[in-house]
Amino acid sequence: MTKAERQAPPAAEPGTRVISRHRARSTGTIVSVIDNRDWGFATSDLPWITLCEDHGNYCSHETRQHAAGWASAPDQWCATCQEATP
Ligand SMILES: [Zn+2]
């Protein structure tokens, strides 16, 4: 798959507050940490979000620290990454 064939990431939505974005070494996918304290990204029960931009799956966290920690391991919370990682 080439970059051009990838669908636009959900995080590109205006108003989404992306704190950081980096490529996770374990999966090679782009993961964003999103400040969801204003519930601007999702009506989730927790205010911080990690988003696997390649797959569109996300996970919510209690604190920014937790989110940043989980961002490096999308294979722990992104179902599509889990399938791709043995
Ligand atoms: Zn993924």
Cβ–Cβ under 8 Å, residues 56 and 46: no
Tell me if 84 is assigned to some domain. Answer: no
Q: How far is the CA of 13 from the centre of ligand 1 (A)?
A: 18
Tell me if 85 is assigned to some domain. Answer: no
Reported pTM: 0.81
In 3D, which of 44, 37, 28, 29 has the Cα closest to residue 64? 37
Q: How far is the CA of 80 from the centre of ligand 1 (A)?
A: 5
| Full residue range of the structural domain in which residue 24 is found | 3-75
CA-derived radius of gyration, the chain:
12
Residue listed under structure tokens 């798959």 = 1
Whole-number percent of the chain with pLDDT over 90: 69
Q: What's the domain count of the chain?
A: 1
Confidence of residue 13 (pLDDT cuts 50, 70, 90): low
Strand partners, 59: 50
Q: How far is the CA of 54 from the centre of ligand 1 (A)?
A: 6
| Average pLDDT estimate for 57-80 | 96
Q: Is the pLDDT of residue 37 over 60?
A: yes
Q: Which two tokens stand for residue 62?
A: 């209690």
